[in-house]
Amino acid sequence: MNQGITRRAALALGGASLGLPAARAQEGWPGGPLRIVVPFAAGGSTDAVARLVSPGLTQRLGHPVVVENRSGGAGAIGTDVVAKARPDGQTWLLTFDSHAVMPDLVPNLPFNLTRDLDPVMLIGGAPYVIATRPDKPYRNLADLVAAAKARPDGVSYGSTGNGTIGHLTMMLLQSRTGTSMPHLAYRGGGLAVNDAVAGHIEVMIGSAALVAPHIAGGTLRALVQFGPTRLPALAAVQTAEEAGFPGLQAEAWWGVFAPAGTPAPIIARMNAALRETLTEERVRQQMEETQQARLALSDPDTLRSFVDRQVEVWGRIVRENRIKAD
C-alpha cells in the first residue's frame, strides 16, 4: 500500500509507543467536558435530539456534555471537525441522514466516512412523508402519480434542500413511475411547509417529524409514508410498499460517531450511556412523539452496516442524476 499505514494503524502504534494501551487510556475517561458536534444549525431535528440526550449523558458520565453546532457543506464542515479530533472520547458526532450522501454530493470531501469515523449507535429513524394542502386533488400516492403522468412537468414538489433524502426519494419515485415533476429546493423544512400550506406547491416531502403536526392540525394531508410500517400517528396513511412500490423506503435517521481510533471500551460506554438515556420514559416519549422516531438504539456494527447500505442506495441516485449540493 503506497500510502503507508492507515490513520487507524498509526493511532494504534502511537498509543503503544507511548505506553498507553486502550485499557489504560479508558481508565481516566471522561477527562473533562465532552462535546457533541451537530453539523447543522440550531433548531433542526438533529440539534433537538442532541440537546435532548445531553442532560442524561452528563448525569451518567459525570462531566458536562455540550452541544456544538458547526453547520455548512451539507454537514461536511462539522463532520470534518470530528474526523480530525483526537480519538480520546471527548468529541462525538451526532448527525442526520444526509451523512450517507456526502461522498457523492459534496466534491473533494476532506475525510472518508469509513476510514476517519467509528460508528457508535444508530439512534433511530422516522419515515419521509409526501403531504399536500387538503384542498388539492390528491388523496393518495396513486392520485399524485396519475396527475404527474397526465401533466408532465405540471405537478411541482418541494423538499428541504437539493440532494436531501427527500429530494432523492422523489427522484427515485419519478424514475420508477416514468414521471417528471419540477423540484423546488427550500433552505429548511419550515419554508417548504409554509409554501405547501399556502398552496404555492402541489406537494412537499419531509420527515414525519416535520409534517405530522400540520397533518394533525388539518393544514396538510399525508398521501404516503416511506417507512417499513405505518406510524401510529399516521395509521390511516399507506406506506409506499402498500401503495405498490416494493422496496421504496426512505427514513430520516440519527446516528452517533466518534473519531477513528477511539478505544472500543470508550465507545461501548458511550453506547451504553446513550441507550440508558434514550430509554428513559420522558426522553423516549419525546423522541416518539416530537420526532416521530422508531428507536433502534443499535450496536456500532449495526450502524456501520446500515450506513454502508444507505451510501450505496442514495449515492447511486446522486450520481445517476448528477445532483450537487446547494
CA dihedral of residues 207, 41, 72, 157 (deg, nearest 10): 30
Residue 82 within any structural domain of the chain: yes
**Distance separating alpha carbons of residues 193 and 133, to the nearest angstrom:** 10
Among 184, 275, 265, residue whose Cα is nearest residue 21: 265
Residue 20 within any structural domain of the chain: no
Read off the pLDDT band of 2 (50, 70, 90): very low
pLDDT of res. 26: 63
pLDDT value at 240 more than 90: yes
Residue 42 within any structural domain of the chain: yes
pLDDT of res. 195: 94
Read off the pLDDT band of 18 (50, 70, 90): very low
pLDDT in tens, 173-230: 999 999 999 999 988 788 899 999 999 999 999 999 889 899 999 999 999 999 999 9
For residues 45-50, give the mean pLDDT. Answer: 93
Do residue 163 and residue 214 come from a single domain? yes
Beta bridge partners of 251: 127
Q: Which of 234, 262, 277 is the last residue of a domain?
A: 234
CATH number at residue 208: 3.40.190.10
pLDDT value at 239 more than 80: yes
Do residue 160 and residue 193 come from a single domain? yes
Do residue 159 and residue 84 come from a single domain? no
Mean pLDDT of the chain: 91
pLDDT value at 6 more than 70: no
Do residue 99 and residue 57 come from a single domain? yes
Q: How many domains does the chain have?
A: 2
Do residue 229 and residue 288 come from a single domain? no
**Distance separating alpha carbons of residues 160 and 307, to the nearest angstrom:** 21
Q: How crowded is the C-beta side of 148, counted as CA atoms within 13 Å?
A: 25
CATH number at residue 270: 3.40.190.150
Do residue 111 and residue 260 come from a single domain? yes
pLDDT value at 20 more than 90: no
Q: Which of 234, 262, 289 is the last residue of a domain?
A: 234
Read off the pLDDT band of 42 (50, 70, 90): confident
For residues 139-166, give the mean pLDDT. Answer: 95
Residue 81 within any structural domain of the chain: yes
**Distance separating alpha carbons of residues 31 and 264, to the nearest angstrom:** 16
**Distance separating alpha carbons of residues 318 and 325, to the nearest angstrom:** 10
For residues 161-172, give the mean pLDDT. Answer: 94
Residue 115 within any structural domain of the chain: yes
Do residue 39 and residue 97 come from a single domain? yes
pLDDT of res. 28: 85
Read off the pLDDT band of 255 (50, 70, 90): very high
Residue 22 within any structural domain of the chain: no
Do residue 75 and residue 92 come from a single domain? yes
pLDDT of res. 25: 54
Read off the pLDDT band of 122 (50, 70, 90): very high
Do residue 141 and residue 213 come from a single domain? yes
Do residue 186 and residue 210 come from a single domain? yes
**Distance separating alpha carbons of residues 158 and 255, to the nearest angstrom:** 25
Cell numbers for 125: 429513524
The mean-pLDDT minimum among 27-31, 224-228, 256-260, 310-314 falls in: 27-31
Identify whether the C-beta of residue 65 lies closer than 8 Å to the C-beta of residue 58: yes
Residue 188 within any structural domain of the chain: yes
Do residue 227 and residue 262 come from a single domain? no
pLDDT of res. 326: 65
Identify whether the C-beta of residue 149 lies closer than 8 Å to the C-beta of residue 312: no
State the residue range of the domain holding 54. 33-126+252-321
Residue 12 within any structural domain of the chain: no
Peptide bond into 30 cis (omega under 30): yes
For residues 250-275, give the mean pLDDT. Answer: 98
pLDDT of res. 11: 46
- Cα separations (Å) of 247 from 90, 97, 194, 206, 230? 39, 18, 30, 19, 15
Do residue 185 and residue 106 come from a single domain? no
